[in-house]
Amino acid sequence: MGTWALGRAVPRRVLWGLLLLILPYHLWYGCGDLFSGIPGRLDGWSANPNIFADTLLPLVGIAGGVALFFRGIRRWAALALCFIGLGFLVLTGSRAAIVGLIVSALLLFYLRVLRRYMASASVRQKTVAAVTAVVLGAGLFYGLFLLRPGSVMGRLLIYRITAASLVQHPSGNGLVSFSHRYLPDQAAYFERHPDSPFSLYAADTHACFNELLQTGYELGWAGIALFILTLWYLFTLKTPGSRGLLILKVSLAGMLVASMFSYPLRSLPSAGEYAVFFALFISYDRNRLFALPGRKALRIVATLPALCLFVWGCLYLGRRYHAYRQFDAVCTGSVSDYQDILDTYRTCYPILRNEGLFLRSYAQDLSFLGECRHSNNIYEQAVLLYLDHRMLLAMGENYECDEDYAMAEEYYMRAHYTVPSRFRPLYKLMLLHRTLGNITQAEIYARQILDKRVKVPSRQLDRMRAEAAALLNGPTTGDSP
């Protein structure tokens, strides 16, 4: 609704100006994140360069299109932004964004240069060109596989489990459910297939790395149909002689390719950018889905709800920003007194109670202060919004602290099946059974620790394996890692 109002109420030239101004904005703040690591930033760029790449991808494609199709100062300004953005895009190392940009560049090259030659080419020449394009595309994807095969295998595992869930739940699992519903599905998969070759590539996943599949996982087949219909509507918009609409379509094609291997539509920094991007598409629709009579009256009607939504959003985000600043002060050590830390969490809780990461941090500090039962109550709320195997481990440790050993074992096992490549869940199970005097069961877990393939060596892992070997060879003493 807000995007529709934006596309109808704001003149197209203003929207284009906003979109082109967003690129230097991202470059400025992204530069600070990449090279200085500004503390207290909430947009996630420092923690995840892929988000930075996803915000740059459509803007770099649009800047390249403007440089190709326009002349004068616009060409040179767009060309400069395109090259600077391309440099930052390469620095992020996001393969999905780079592939999407290559697709956009090839489409622009075809539309600007090759199309006039292909119109008069013979059938044989067109066939050779098509086969060459397919071979080059296959070679590109195979090269990406060889570059990081583990990452590709991890994505294949996610796609496999997500597709199976889509078959079992054709109506979906609920909006924004992937971040807390996928890992239990992954745990169930490895519980059924304990010897799966994918176990080495499993991780704490909170995105599907495929927008179409994640839409299906959350909204079912109806969501997939809506996704495809939206793309069909955008790609079939026609405004004769409009170079701007053509550039938007080429950029959208690059985004679509990148979205099959990443999550460009689900990052907070790009939300405003994509709102303007799709509002531009709507501004070109004059005779179909969103075309209504009375342009002047329509602008007034569209502007009022958009303005109200904007004011409400500013107030809401301002309140959340203030709470985030307080929470950030705790995370960065600016608040050191334990009572002040708890008071800060209690103050922020009514505002951030729907933020899984906030709840996880709150529960961790409660556990550190010895409030194990209260900590698990907060963890129970957090796992409904955000889940990883470390949270399950922490819940098991809290139950062990309260001497509820059956629940502790259950959560350690859940953590193990969630990410089978991790050693710590098995190590905690070994220690638990050794403490309870179940030496035979403890030795079973010790053998699993020693037999498991090491993915990332570390000193802590060496200590776990040494303690497991000592348990099998006789009594052990010493501190646990």
pLDDT one-digit tens code per residue, 167-196: 999 998 888 888 888 989 999 999 888 888
Mean pLDDT of the chain: 79
User: In sequence order, which residues have a C-beta less than 8 Å from that of residue 151 and are 6 or more positions away?
Assistant: none
**Given this model, what pLDDT does residue 279 score?**
77
Give one DSSP letter per residue of 436-472, joined into a string: TT-HHHHHHHHHHHHHSPPSS--HHHHHHHHHHHHHH
- Report, as an integer, the average pLDDT of 420-431: 91
The pLDDT confidence band at residue 446, using thresholds 50, 70 and 90, is very high
How far apart, in whole angstroms, are the C-alpha atoms of residue 166 and residue 174? Answer: 12
Residue 437: name the closest of 473, 471, 469 by CA.
471
- Report, as an integer, the average pLDDT of 121-131: 78
Overall size of the chain counted in residues: 481
Which amino acid is present at 179?
Answer: S
- Domain stop point among 291, 316, 349: 291
Please check whether residue 145 lies inside any domain of the structure.
Answer: yes
Please check whether residue 474 lies inside any domain of the structure.
Answer: yes
**Given this model, what pLDDT does residue 43 score?**
39
Percent of the chain with pLDDT over 70: 81
The pLDDT confidence band at residue 224, using thresholds 50, 70 and 90, is very high
Which domain range does residue 480 map to?
A: 423-481
How far apart, in whole angstroms, are the C-alpha atoms of residue 418 and residue 200? Answer: 12
Please check whether residue 260 lies inside any domain of the structure.
Answer: yes
CA 229 vs. chain centroid, Å, equals 23
- Identify the residue with better confidence: 428 or 131: 428
The pLDDT confidence band at residue 475, using thresholds 50, 70 and 90, is low
Give one DSSP letter per residue of 69-115, joined into a string: H--THHHHHHHHHHHHHHHHHHHHT-HHHHHHHHHHHHHHHIIIIIH
CB-based contact 26:269 (threshold 8 Å):
yes
Give how far Cα 309 sits from Cα of 15, 18, 154, 295, Å. Answer: 18, 19, 40, 21
Please check whether residue 130 lies inside any domain of the structure.
Answer: yes
- Domain stop point among 239, 273, 291: 291
- Identify the residue with better confidence: 282 or 445: 445
Of 42-46, 202-206, 309-313, give the lowest mean pLDDT range. Answer: 42-46
The pLDDT confidence band at residue 38, using thresholds 50, 70 and 90, is very low
pLDDT at 265 over 90: no
**Given this model, what pLDDT does residue 32 score?**
52
Give one DSSP letter per residue of 1-64, joined into a string: -HHHHHHHHS-HHHHHHHHHHHHHHHHHHHHHHHHT--TT--SSTTT-HHHHHHHHHHHHHHHH
The pLDDT confidence band at residue 47, using thresholds 50, 70 and 90, is very low
- Domain stop point among 268, 291, 314: 291
Please check whether residue 186 lies inside any domain of the structure.
Answer: no
**Given this model, what pLDDT does residue 405 score?**
92
**Given this model, what pLDDT does residue 409 score?**
93
Q: How many domains does one find in the chain?
A: 2
Mark whether 85 and 229 lie in a shared domain: yes
Please check whether residue 461 lies inside any domain of the structure.
Answer: yes
Quick one: angle between helices 356-368 and 372-382, nearest 10? 170
How far apart, in whole angstroms, are the C-alpha atoms of residue 217 and residue 224? Answer: 9
Please check whether residue 437 lies inside any domain of the structure.
Answer: yes
How far apart, in whole angstroms, are the C-alpha atoms of residue 221 and residue 264? Answer: 21
Residue whose entry in the numeric block shows the structure tokens 């947009």: 43
pLDDT at 37 over 50: no
3-class DSSP assignment, residue 121: coil
**Given this model, what pLDDT does residue 142 score?**
73
Please check whether residue 125 lies inside any domain of the structure.
Answer: yes
Percent of the chain with pLDDT over 90: 19
pLDDT at 36 over 70: no
* Predicted TM-score of the model (pTM): 0.76
- Identify the residue with better confidence: 268 or 208: 208
